Amino acid sequence: MDKGTVKDLNFYSDALQEELQLLVYIPANYSPLYKYNLLIATDGKDYFQLGGITRLADELIDNYEMENTIIVGVPYKNVEDRQKKYIPSGEQHEAFLRFLAHELVPYLDENYATFQLGQTRGMIGDSMAATAALMVALKYPNVFGKAILQSPYVDELVLKTVENAANYSAISIYHIIGKGEDKVITTSKEVKNFLTPNRTLHQLFLEKNFTTFYEEFDGDHTWKHWKPDLRRALIENFG
């Protein structure tokens, strides 16, 4: 099995007024003569290291179980940085969404052979990173046609945004949550119930006729469950 390559880049964002690290996975079969889907991962380093997403993509692309896809990881700098950017109450949240849609995507479209169509672009995230993935797809549905949500952090602001969403018929949602996620110890050492708000979010998706896949798995808020789920998530969205 041929292995793709991972480039480690620095990208200056005008929206955020700071430099961000990017991890760019290019499939082994990359050629400018082909066109490629695009998947952007918030919590990027976690997806590349803990999730093993590049090795999985190598295998799935090699076995023709997944279409040609470039995967871009956007790592966070620290816990505070993650909270500022990923959740709606964060002071850099709106700027982060602008960076993803108006700076990162145009850069990737310019430098790689992508389809340049919303339905061929996806966002993926876990926990707060899944919140960012959902929020950017809701705000820019013509840019991102897919959102893969692994145990998203859901609060009233998230639910309100979904309630008020327009043009969401273009978005396909993949959504999982663990039955053991009713008592999650967060990075700020608080205990939060993730399960109930996610059930509410799922009902809202159904009421508003979102295209959605939903599953409650037996497990908790950890990579022990998110990593094995990635195979199905990638095949469902890019198979």
Predicted local distance difference test score (pLDDT) of residue 168: 81
Q: Which of 118, 224, 122, 219 has its CA nearest to residue 173?
A: 122
CATH of domain 5-238: 3.40.50.1820
- What confidence tens digit (pLDDT) does each residue in 29-55 have? 999 999 999 999 999 999 999 999 999
Give the pLDDT of residue 169: 85
| Cα dihedral: 193, 194, 197, 203 (round 10) | -140
pLDDT value of position 214: 99
Report the alpha-carbon distance of residue 199 to residue 86 in Å, rounded: 20
pLDDT digits (tens, 9 = 90+) for 198-214: 999 999 999 999 999 99
What is the predicted pLDDT for the residue at 222? 96
pLDDT at res. 164: 94
- pLDDT computed for residue 166 by the predictor: 83
Q: 83-126 pLDDT, tens per residue? A: 999 999 999 999 999 999 999 999 999 999 999 999 999 999 99
- Using 50, 70 and 90 to split pLDDT, how confident is the model at 1? confident
Averaged confidence pLDDT in the chain: 97
Rounded average pLDDT over 141-164: 97
Residues 206 and 48: their CA atoms lie apart, in Å, by 31
pLDDT at 189: 83
Q: Could you tell me the CA-to-CA distances from 127 to 25, 62, 234, 238 in Å, in that order?
A: 22, 30, 18, 22
CB 93 within 8 A of CB 63: no
3-state class (DSSP) for residue 23: strand
Give CA–CA dist 97/173, Å, rounded. Answer: 18
Concatenating the DSSP letter of every residue in 189-232 gives S-EE--HHHHHHHHHHHHHTT-EEEEEEESS-SSHHHHHHHHHH
Q: How many CB atoms lie within 10 A of CB 120?
A: 18
Dist CA 77 CA 55 (whole Å): 24
Residue 231 has a pLDDT of: 99
Which residue matches tokens 């799935």?
60
Buried b (16+ CB within 10 A) or exposed e, 64-85: eebbbbbbbbbbbeeeebbbbb
Cα–Cα distance for residue pair 110/96, rounded to 1 Å:
20
pLDDT digits (tens, 9 = 90+) for 157-198: 999 999 999 878 889 999 999 999 999 988 778 899 999 999
- For residue 132, report the phi and psi dihedrals to the nearest 5 degrees: -60, -40
pLDDT higher than 90, residue 60:
yes
d(CA 143, CA 55): 26
pLDDT of residue 18: 98
